[in-house]
């Protein structure tokens, strides 16, 4: 596997790096991303690829379920660096279809120590969706719609979590930061806004 990465790097050097050398040399000195992108670790959802952004445009934090935990040093450090030091103008939380983390909300995760604790950060999204409907989904279409609603509601929930950080609310009040929710559909390739 590592050999394929090395070979892929050779292709990158030839087809991209050498052709855009000036651009990459500016990135050697510093980075100036304007967006903190909070996305899922899912290998199918690459932020730069689905947005057609170049290296240096997004400061990215990925984790299972695109979760914004309210008490996590790793996340808090990324957030603080992005807002205070990089001075990003936007924060995006991007959810996606077929999210395994959110599917796991309905599964008994016996034997797993960390995943159940982590995805509890999204449990409220599931509870909100289930509270809006009194019927238990039975058809494949109803189940798929519930799953999508949970994925989108999770984006909203994580935006709420993000706003528990004082540095975010302060920056929003000053008008120097905007928070956005996005949803990526794997089947269509479409990225859409979450209200």
CA atoms within 13 A on the CB side of 16: 8
DSSP state of 109: -
94 is in an annotated binding site: no
CA distances from 133 to 129, 136, 141 (A): 7, 8, 15
Only one residue has tokens 């936007």, namely: 90
Which single residue is written with the structure tokens 């019927």?
135
Is 32 marked within a binding site? no
What secondary structure letter does DSSP report for 64?
T
Q: Is 53 annotated for ligand binding?
A: no
Q: Would you list which residues are annotated within the binding site for Zn(2+)? A: 40, 96, 99
Q: Would you list which residues are annotated within the binding site? A: 40, 96, 99
């Amino acid at each position: 596997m590592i050999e394929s990465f090395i070979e892929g790097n050779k292709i990158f050097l030839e087809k991209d790096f050498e052709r855009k050398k000036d651009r990459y040399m500016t990135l050697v000195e510093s980075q100036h991303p304007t967006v903190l992108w909070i996305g899922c670790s899912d290998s199918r959802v690459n932020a730069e690829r689905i947005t057609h952004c170049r290296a240096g445009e997004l400061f990215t934090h990925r984790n299972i379920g695109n979760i914004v935990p309210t008490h996590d040093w790793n996340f808090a450090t990324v957030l603080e660096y992005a807002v205070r030091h990089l001075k990003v103008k936007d924060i995006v939380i991007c959810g996606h279809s077929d999210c395994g983390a959110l599917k796991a909300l309905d599964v008994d995760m016996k034997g797993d120590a960390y995943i159940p604790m982590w995805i509890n950060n999204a449990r409220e999204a599931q509870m909100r969706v289930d509270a809006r409907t009194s019927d238990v989904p039975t058809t494949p279409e109803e189940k798929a719609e519930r799953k999508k609603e949970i994925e989108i509601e999770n984006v909203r929930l994580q935006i709420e979590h993000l706003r528990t950080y004082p540095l975010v609310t302060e920056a929003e009040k000053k008008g120097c930061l905007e928070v956005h929710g996005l949803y990526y559909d794997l089947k269509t390739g479409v990225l859409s806004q979450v209200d």
